[in-house]
Amino acid sequence: DYCPGGYMPVSIGQTIGPDDRYQIIRKLGWGHFSTVWLCEDLAESQAYYAIKIVKSANNFKTVALDEIKLLKCAKEKDHDAIGYDKIVLFLDYFTATSLYGDHLCLTFELMGPSLLNLIIQSNYQGLEQEGVKNIIKQILLGLMYLHEKCRIVHTDIKPENILIAVKEPYIRNMVDHVNRFNELGVQMPKTYVNAMGWNEAVELYDQSHEEASSSNIYTNRLDPRMTSCPNKTYLNDFSKAIKSKFENRSLSPLFVDPGIQVKIADLGNSCWENHHFAEVIQTLQYRALEVIIESEYSFPADIWSVACLAFELSTGDFLFNPQATDHLSCPEDHLGLIWELLDGLPPYIALSGRKSSEYFTSSGSLKRISSENMKIWKVEDVLVDKYQWKRVDAILLADFIESLIEPDQDLRATASTALTKKWLDAVDNQ
Ligand code: ATP
Ligand code: MG
Ligand code: MG
């Protein structure tokens, strides 16, 4: 993807922005649309930002311009509203030119790892309930602001898009991490660095060395470009070389502060209540019932995703992980899983989507999954049977989750009403 129309080639230490104001320190992440970099603001002492550098092709530019409009709305709508500070702050944007074209660059407040990193750090066992409640509460406050004030549907609530706030020492440690890496004198051919080498090598190193650097800020799912990289062997050798250089030096880990503050990031797929950009939204596992059957969607779709997130943070497993099989398509399997968890679906809901007749009979039962093949297994029992929770604890979380995956959108909890649920009682206000 480093090609004309694609990612901007970036080297560590280069400056970008108006008056060469920002200096690139290291890569923070990447996505379908962009690479995201830790930058130092040279015009201000000790100020660090995350700069999202968008691919240069016109279609990416168009999407980014929509993202900027949504971000501006979230930034300007109502500074004093509850939940305003639960959205990653967008600061500014500019254009940078590379040999691959013009790239929109979006400047954000610097955040740390995502909730996915926390889940991975827990070894997919989930977090303590106090922590989960604290996180979910903040996400609901952020959604309350996006929904009620900005009239924005986020459409992509998932662990990767919830980022943890970082404090000063963490940032210094992160910068230091790079300095020490540089001190080791590990060098790569310049062309390779420009193409993709250095940063991915650092990533690869971090990934192959998780015990030493529980830094884990790079436990992002592996960059797919890595596997198709023609220089993979070279990169492997390179990573081995780095590893041996690091062997006798302990890197101080980049701890995640336990009293974490989280914020909602990535409005890149978001839309307005009355101006949608896509018919099918959301990442599969977090996709709401109405989206699967292609009925109308709005704010309640985000609330569904929050339920999936609450379950995943609590157990380390997806709430729904649909798979296509020989006899079933992925959406059919998904609907089957929802059916089993909710003990059925009301026919007026099942039959309300443009795709309903593909999956349901005219009386509202699933076409290709017979009731003998279904095992009704409510959330409460899943928590008790599969995760050995105490019944009293399971009841509270199950009640919360069920009100957020209510099939009828009009009856589903909203961000505000979800905040009043018993499960969230006794969580300190953030
Ligand atoms: P996607 O494919 O998810 O749409 P994208 O190209 O739109 O990706 P983002 O999701 O906005 O990009 O950002 C990519 C990654 O960069 C994030 O998953 C995160 O790891 C990192 N990142 C984004 N914003 C920040 C920030 N403000 N501070 C720190 N890291 C960030
Ligand atoms: Mg993202
Ligand atoms: Mg995006």
**pLDDT of the residue at 330:** 97
Give the tens place of pLDDT for each residue, 145-158: 999 999 999 999 99
Between residues 399 and 240, which one has the greater pLDDT?
399
Flag the least confident range among 9-18, 88-97, 316-325, 385-394.
9-18
Q: Cα torsion at 291, 296, 297, 298 (round to 10°)?
A: 180
Ligand 1 within 6 A of CB of 262: no
What values do phi and psi take at 293, rounded to 5? -90, 5
* Residue 303, token pair as written in the block: 């609330």
pLDDT above 70 coverage of the chain, percent: 77
Q: 54 alpha carbon to ligand 3 midpoint, in Å?
A: 10
- Asked whether residue 52 is marked as a ligand-binding residue, the answer is yes
For the CA atoms of 121, 163, 62, 2, the dihedral, rounded to the nearest 10 degrees, stands at -40
- pLDDT score at 53: 96
Q: What is the mean pLDDT of the chain?
A: 83
* Residue of minimum CA distance from atom 10 in ligand 1: 266
pLDDT at 191 over 80: no
Average pLDDT over residues 215-231: 33
What number of other Cβ atoms are within 10 A of residue 118's Cβ?
22
pLDDT above 50 for 255: no
- Its pTM stands at 0.85
Cα torsion angle, 351, 356, 361, 366, sign: negative
Pocket test for ligand 1, best of 1, 30, 32, 35 (most atoms within 8 A of CB): 30
**E strands, 14-169, in order:** 15-16, 22-30, 34-41, 47-54, 90-98, 101-109, 111-114, 152-153, 162-165
For the Cβ of 174 lying below 6 angstroms from any atom of ligand 1, the answer is no
Q: How confident is the model at residue 61 (pLDDT cuts 50, 70, 90)?
A: very high
Residue 20 pLDDT greater than 70, yes or no: yes
* Ligand 1 atom index nearest CA of 161: 18
Which residues share a beta bridge with 36? Answer: 29, 52
Residue 236, pLDDT above cutoff 90: no
